[in-house]
Structure 1
Amino acid sequence: MVWKDEAFEIWTRGWASLFREGDSSRELLEKVQKSCYLVSLVDNDYISGDLFAAFKEI
């Protein structure tokens, strides 16, 4: 995902920078950035789509 790095970079420069170095909130944001995946779900059936139906079975 090309845009993942850019999205997380904005998150780090914008949101995380509001907290001092070593702050637990900043550490959480940095941990999420390093350990989570950024996912984009797209349903191309605009009229009768049900994107979240697949998750009902989980």
Structure 2
Amino acid sequence: RENRALAGALHREQEFDDFQFQPLLPNQLSRLGPGCAWGDVDGDGDDDFFLGGACGF
């Protein structure tokens, strides 16, 4: 079943230079994008979708 409730969702990030604060990082961890997860959290038989976001948005 298709759900279009998130069709207009946009991902935005604040500019942040990881290497300025931690110069030994192998790559910029702040550029990985938002985290997401799904599963039947409320027990109704439908998968629930969670999309994490950056602080301030």
Taking structure 2 as the reference length, what is the TM-score of the superposition?
Answer: 0.26
Which structure exhibits the higher relative contact order, with contacts defined as CA atoms closer than 8 Å and separated by 6 or more residues? 2
More strand by share: 2
More helix by share: 1
Taking structure 1 as the reference length, what is the TM-score of the superposition?
Answer: 0.26
